[in-house]
């Protein structure tokens, strides 16, 4: 069930761009964030220690494991997972505030995080899966990064597991040529923004005509 729309303007949305490592997700999302002031990157909560230059509330919200567990138990996290012994999650409050203000939030999560977000915010989540042209092409991209053969093998195995869930996303973009892939994601985002259900102003406009949605 959709949450109430703002009295005016448009309700924001959650944009999830998922992809196996090496498919070009980071390049696509960086381009979108650089050109679109209405799109902001979700800031995650993590239990890992801050790295040099990282700022609280800008790069991450840094919490102890006990604090993180309490947030999860109290329903303060939209999604969360444990990665390499550290916990990561998305705080509910900042996202819901952004949506109510008509801002769109970009998420860097995998297919599992996507499902958790859809369950937490039904009707607000748009999912796009980015594919490489082929697995051979993906392997070549990983080799071009200079990764060790064993790391490449691990990433390729993880890529196959991730790609197995592509059918669970409503949109798929094949990143053969980066500018075209960026344009396709941009088009999907524009279409999602103009969905009738997101237009808080529409009921007022129709009301002026003596009509209702």
The answer to whether 31 is a known ligand-binding residue is no
- Looking at residue 213, its pLDDT comes to 59
The answer to whether 158 is a known ligand-binding residue is no
Q: How confident is the model at residue 6 (pLDDT cuts 50, 70, 90)?
A: very low
Start-to-end CA span in the chain (Å) = 16
Contact 175, 24 (CB under 8 A): yes
The answer to whether 22 is a known ligand-binding residue is yes
The answer to whether 21 is a known ligand-binding residue is yes
Pairing of strands 39-41, 44-46: unpaired
The answer to whether 18 is a known ligand-binding residue is no
Counting Cβ atoms within 10 Å, is residue 55 exposed (0-12), middle (13-18) or buried (19+)?
exposed
Strand partners, 17: 128
May I ask the CATH class of domain 14-42+102-207?
A: alpha beta
Pairing of strands 86-91, 39-41: unpaired
Number of continuous H segments (helices) and E segments (strands) in the chain: 8, 9
The answer to whether 87 is a known ligand-binding residue is no
User: How many Cα atoms within 13 Å fall on the side-chain side of residue 75?
Assistant: 3
The answer to which of 108-117, 122-131, 175-184, 198-207 has the lowest mean pLDDT is: 198-207
Contact 129, 181 (CB under 8 A): no
pLDDT in tens, 141-150: 999 988 889 9
Strand partners, 82: 87
**In the predicted model, what is the mean pLDDT of residues 115-127?**
96
The answer to whether 94 is a known ligand-binding residue is no
The answer to whether 181 is a known ligand-binding residue is no
Residue 212 token pair: 């209702």
Q: How far apart are CA 96 and CA 128, in angstroms?
A: 21
Provide the 3-class DSSP secondary structure of residue 76.
Answer: coil
pLDDT in tens, 191-204: 999 998 888 788 77
pLDDT in tens, 44-67: 999 999 999 999 999 999 999 999
Q: What is the pTM of this model?
A: 0.87
- CA dihedral sign of residues 93, 110, 155, 184: negative
């Amino acid at each position: 069930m959709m949450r109430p729309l703002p009295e005016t303007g448009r309700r924001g949305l959650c944009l999830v761009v998922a992809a196996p490592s090496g498919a070009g997700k980071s390049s696509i999302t960086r381009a979108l964030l650089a050109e679109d002031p209405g799109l902001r990157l979700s800031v995650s909560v993590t239990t890992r220690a801050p790295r040099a230059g990282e700022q609280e509330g800008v790069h991450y919200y840094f919490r102890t494991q006990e604090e993180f567990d309490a947030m999860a138990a109290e329903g303060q996290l939209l999604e969360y997972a444990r990665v390499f012994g550290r916990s990561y999650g998305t705080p509910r409050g900042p996202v819901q505030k952004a949506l109510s203000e008509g801002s769109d939030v970009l998420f860097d999560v995998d297919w599992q995080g996507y499902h958790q977000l859809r369950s937490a915010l039904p009707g607000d989540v748009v999912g796009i899966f980015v594919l490489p042209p082929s697995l051979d092409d993906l392997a070549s991209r990983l080799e071009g990064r200079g990764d060790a053969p064993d790391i490449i093998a691990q990433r390729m195995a993880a890529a196959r597991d991730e790609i197995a869930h592509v059918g669970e996303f409503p949109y798929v973009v094949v990143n053969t040529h980066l500018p075209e892939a960026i344009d396709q994601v941009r088009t999907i985002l524009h279409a999602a923004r103009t969905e009738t259900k997101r237009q808080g102003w529409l009921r007022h406009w129709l009301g002026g005509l003596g009509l209702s949605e």
